[in-house]
Amino acid sequence: MRIAFVGDVHGCVLHALGALLAWQDNCGQRLDAVIQVGDMGAFPSLERMDQPSRRFAAENPAQHDLFRMLAPTGELESAIRRAMTLLPPVLFVSGNHEDFEWLAGLHGGAGVVPIDPGGAFHHVACGQVITVAGQRVAFLGRIEKPGKMDLDAAAYARLMDVEPGSVDVLVTHDGPYGMGRDWLGEPVGSPKLSRLIARLRPRLHVSGHYHHANGPRHYGPTVSFALAQLVYSKVNRHRPDQDNPQQRVTPGSIGVLDTETFLFEYVNDDWLAGVCGDEFDLAGATARSARDYRESRL
Ligand SMILES: [Fe+2]
């Protein structure tokens, strides 16, 4: 079976669905599950967005697409419905840019809940271990940044208590300590996640947050990958080489695990650039995809 992993979405949910459909169309295979590593940009309204998210969305209109998905009208509603006949729902964990209160209110005690009327995106609470495409997958969102944010203490404790070796895949938003360096040359990452990886010994660890592809890195028996941001901003003040005026999907922002071989591969293909625009045309993408799917079954 195949599980796709998606990097930080920051509201660009239609690009996410479009890129997953394009992967299926171009690879001639179906995905069995999709997991997103946090920073979905899950805010219920513009007013509830945090300041940085609001600032970025003002310059990058596709970052408002999550709001359109929460209250879809006419054509978009049927495009999402059609997309979900072609794709598995996207499971996601919290990043550091979500409305945590709103998400907690949706759960009502359930470990996994849909956030949108079309059931395209499902939030997974921190500390859950669930079976996804036959794999035991543990989820732990948020980041460890002293003075700013921390991992969910109870969820962390629960996962530290899980039998080592019983989890196949660990999904986190932050990454292990020392996985890279910031622009000042200081190591980034979470010491707590390093300890969790050492304790759980999953076969695969996938994370996001730093917005660049980074991996494979090896920690004992675990191979770890970080994903790029799904759609880079139009203007990157620190990295002008990453300016993205056409709002194309970033190479390295999606990875696919084949659960039989346990091979994880970044998606870097040229066709990713075709998933683009301030207003991604999901209706057109689903129509193309449905036609390809029908033809492949003839
Ligand atoms: Fe992010």
Residue pLDDT, tens place only, 116-170:
999 999 999 999 999 999 999 999 999 999 999 999 999 999 999 999 999 999 9
Q: How far is the CA of 39 from the centre of ligand 1 (A)?
A: 5
Domains along the chain?
2-296 (3.60.21.10)
Q: How far is the CA of 89 from the centre of ligand 1 (A)?
A: 21
Q: Is the CB of residue 256 less than 8 Å from the CB of residue 23? A: yes
Q: How far is the CA of 51 from the centre of ligand 1 (A)?
A: 13
Q: How far is the CA of 37 from the centre of ligand 1 (A)?
A: 10
Q: How far is the CA of 95 from the centre of ligand 1 (A)?
A: 7
Q: How far is the CA of 229 from the centre of ligand 1 (A)?
A: 7
SS3 216: strand
Q: Is the CB of residue 162 less than 8 Å from the CB of residue 138? A: yes
d(CA 118, CA 121): 8
Binning pLDDT at 50, 70 and 90, where does residue 240 land?
A: confident
Q: How far is the CA of 75 from the centre of ligand 1 (A)?
A: 29
d(CA 187, CA 268): 26
Whole-model pTM over 0.95: yes
Tell me the CA distances in angstroms from 213 to 2, 161, 192, 196, one per residue in order. 20, 30, 21, 21
Region at 96 (left for phi over 0; alpha for psi -120 to 50; beta for the rest): alpha
Q: How far is the CA of 24 from the centre of ligand 1 (A)?
A: 25
Average pLDDT taken over every residue of the chain: 96
Q: How far is the CA of 144 from the centre of ligand 1 (A)?
A: 14
Q: Is the predicted pLDDT of residue 297 greater than 70, yes or no?
A: no
SS3 156: helix
Q: Which amino acid type is present at position 205?
A: H
| Short-list 230, 227, 203, 201, CA closest to 215 | 227
Q: Is the CB of residue 41 less than 8 Å from the CB of residue 97? A: yes
Write phi, then psi, for 253 (nearest 5 degrees): -90, -10
Q: How far is the CA of 298 from the centre of ligand 1 (A)?
A: 42
d(CA 252, CA 102): 30
Q: Which amino acid type is present at position 77?
A: E
Q: Is the predicted pLDDT of residue 296 greater than 80, yes or no?
A: no
Q: Residue 135: its pLDDT value, please?
A: 98
